[in-house]
């Protein structure tokens, strides 16, 4: 049984990671052949840094992903905090459901409907460029939002309600208590949401395909347009660099997450100690009386 479970785990990891490893391996290939490895070389990395098209697209993708994920994080965090504080239960649960729609919706539906909306509005206002960087940004913020809300919401729910109350009791304004007390508590959720939104936005193809204008081509769109001729290994090199960057990002976020876990455990220990003390104290006072 033990062996079977080990083999099972090995199999799962193989299926998950072998494609990536193959991609990494062939990014170091000396020729553009993907059938055979013809020797180690950094040729494609050099090529990558020389091709302006790919770099422009990468720059565009990063600009878009960073701005979309930041905006989505701000809006999403506010939404999550607001949803938890709602009094009306029916309204609250229906709002949660509604915010999840962009996530459950097939990308293609979101993409086409967004395009129709933008074109309609653009024609109405009389814009000459109906689709542009801004429409792309709006659509990316839209589909990133649910991921942020989904990762922040449980944090807000799990937060001890007495913490902000205590802060306000001690003279904080509500705004100050939000920034000083609530925000640090829900921060791990926000960071997770930010990273999720960033990666979702970075690799989105379908929605970008429909909502991008002529002035802004993201990396997935560029790679797709290359498939008429062959996709050259400099894209493998780029993918390898991106995988490494994302792995580092994930490790960092995990590290900060675990640190937070330690903090929370210490915190809980302290609370338990204090409770014990006070329990002993009340016992003692009970005896005395």
Question: What does the binding site for another protein look like in residue numbers (CB under 8 A)?
Answer: 31-36, 47, 50-54, 60, 62-63, 66-67, 70-71, 74, 115, 118-119, 122-123, 128-131, 133, 179, 183-184, 187, 194, 212-215, 217, 221-222, 224-231, 234
Q: How far is the CB of 268 from another protein (least distance, A)?
A: 21
Nearer to another protein, 183 or 280 (CB): 183
158 sits in which H/E element: helix 133-158
CA angle in degrees (0–180, nearest 5) for 183-186-187: 75
Q: How far is the CB of 187 from another protein (least distance, A)?
A: 5
| CA dist list (Å): 240 to 118, 132, 245 | 35, 29, 9
Nearer to another protein, 2 or 228 (CB): 228
Nearer to another protein, 33 or 283 (CB): 33
Nearer to another protein, 96 or 190 (CB): 190
Q: How far apart are CA 243 and CA 206, in angstroms?
A: 21
* Tokens matching residue 224: 């797709």
Q: Return the exposure string of 207-238: e unless at least 16 CB atoms fall within 10 Å of the residue's CB, then b.
A: bbbbbbbeebbbbbbbbeeeeeeeeebbbbbb
Nearer to another protein, 40 or 91 (CB): 40
Q: How far is the CB of 20 from another protein (least distance, A)?
A: 18
CA angle in degrees (0–180, nearest 5) for 271-153-137: 140
Nearer to another protein, 24 or 187 (CB): 187
Q: How far is the CB of 185 from another protein (least distance, A)?
A: 10
Q: How far is the CB of 213 from another protein (least distance, A)?
A: 5
| CA dist list (Å): 15 to 236, 240, 261, 269 | 19, 18, 31, 41
Q: How many angstroms separate the first and last alpha carbons of the chain? A: 62
* Tokens matching residue 112: 């086409």
Q: How far is the CB of 54 from another protein (least distance, A)?
A: 8
């Amino acid at each position: 049984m033990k062996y079977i479970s080990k083999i099972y785990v090995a199999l799962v990891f193989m299926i998950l990671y072998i494609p990536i490893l193959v991609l990494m391996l062939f990014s170091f290939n000396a020729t553009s052949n993907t059938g055979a490895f013809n020797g180690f070389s950094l040729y494609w990395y050099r090529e990558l840094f020389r091709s302006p098209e790919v770099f422009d697209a990468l720059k565009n993708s990063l600009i878009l992903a960073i701005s979309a994920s930041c905006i989505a994080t701000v809006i999403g965090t506010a939404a999550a905090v607001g949803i938890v504080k709602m009094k009306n239960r029916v309204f609250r649960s229906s709002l949660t459901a509604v915010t999840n729609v962009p996530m459950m919706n097939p990308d293609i539906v979101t993409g086409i409907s967004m395009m129709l909306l933008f074109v309609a509005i653009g024609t109405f206002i009389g814009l000459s460029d109906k689709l542009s960087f801004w429409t792309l940004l709006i659509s990316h913020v839209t589909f990133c939002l649910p991921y942020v809300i989904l990762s922040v919401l449980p944090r807000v729910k799990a937060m001890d309600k007495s913490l902000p109350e205590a802060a306000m009791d001690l003279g904080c304004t509500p705004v100050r208590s939000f920034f000083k007390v609530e925000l640090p508590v829900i921060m791990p959720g926000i960071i997770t949401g930010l990273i999720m939104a960033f990666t979702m936005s970075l690799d989105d193809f379908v929605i970008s395909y429909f909502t991008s204008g002529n002035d802004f081509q993201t990396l997935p769109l560029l790679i797709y347009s290359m498939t008429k001729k062959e996709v050259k290994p400099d894209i493998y090199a780029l993918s390898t660099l991106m995988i490494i960057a994302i792995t580092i990002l994930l490790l960092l976020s995990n590290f900060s997450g675990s640190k937070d876990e330690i903090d929370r455990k210490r915190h809980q220990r302290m609370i338990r100690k204090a409770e014990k003390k006070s329990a002993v104290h009340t016992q003692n006072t009970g005896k005395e009386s």
